[in-house]
Amino acid sequence: MWKKKKDEGIKKEAEQDNEGRGGGLYRQSREEGKEGKEGGKGMDYVFKMVVIGDSAVGKSQLLSRFSKNEFSMESRATVGVEFQTKTILIDKKLVKAQIWDTAGQERYRSITSAYYRGALGAIIVYDITKLPSFEQVPRWLEDLRAYADPGIVVMLAGNKCDLHEMRSVPTEMGRELAEREGMLFLETSALDATNVEQAFLTVLEHIYRAVSRKSLVADEQPPLVLKSSLKGAKLELPESQQRYSCCSE
């Protein structure tokens, strides 16, 4: 009885928070920090995501901004793999996102590849002020194709779009690469929160829509092993999602 009331309380809290934001498809509840004792119990869905890209492009800061609405000027390099969780409501369904932040250093690539397995969504991050980080995006895509499930939803995010005067990767370059490789695309700023929430929620919505269509199936194991059966099919974007957003230059 206590457990049921607790679950209902989480949903009620999320709905109340959404009303304060003016409604909409996404209904954010609480930031949950690290994995709790109950794991995915009481959730309608648990989706695993990974955030990948070169070192120092702002992956951890993006995750911190989305999960805790925090940004720190004193950032440290991720060692191996870390993760945060975020519980939201999509179409009145309680969804828990387990978001894994993977180290970008070369020496960790073989270690973190195992964490791609079971991921239903990924955000590949590059720094718009560092062309080499953008040039490495195809290599990160190769890792996803080698280790992740077919049909994984992928977002390409050009981070630090607040640094207009230091830009070395034009927005169009990012957009063209994303279109060519069948990825979603946004430019983001963890510093001022531009498009951060939209990036994560867009990926989660596409995962949810695919699951709702039964294009993805869940294994009867813990949430980390949800598996895809999309066989590499490209997800069609709703017309409203095909219009890309980025910082104004």
35-56 pLDDT tens trace: 333 455 688 999 999 999 998 9
* ∠ CA 65-154-86, rounded to 5°: 35
43-100 pLDDT tens trace: 899 999 999 999 899 999 999 999 888 866 665 554 456 788 999 999 999 999 999 9
Report pLDDT for 74. 61
Q: Residue 9: is its pLDDT beyond 80? A: no
The residues near 21 (Cβ < 8 Å, ≥ 6 apart) are 28
User: Token pair of 44, please?
Assistant: 């309608």
- Predicted TM-score (pTM) of the model is 0.70
User: Token pair of 140, please?
Assistant: 């990160």
DSSP conformation class of 194: B
128-156 pLDDT tens trace: 999 999 999 999 999 899 889 888 999 99
12-21 pLDDT tens trace: 444 443 343 3
Domains of the chain: 30-228 (3.40.50.300)
Instruction: Give the whole-number percent of the chain exceeding pLDDT 70.
Output: 60
Helix axes 59-68, 196-212, angle to 10 degrees: 80
The residues near 98 (Cβ < 8 Å, ≥ 6 apart) are 35, 46, 47, 48, 49, 83, 85, 223, 224
Q: Residue 157: is its pLDDT beyond 80? A: yes
Report the C-alpha gap between 120 and 48 in whole angstroms: 6
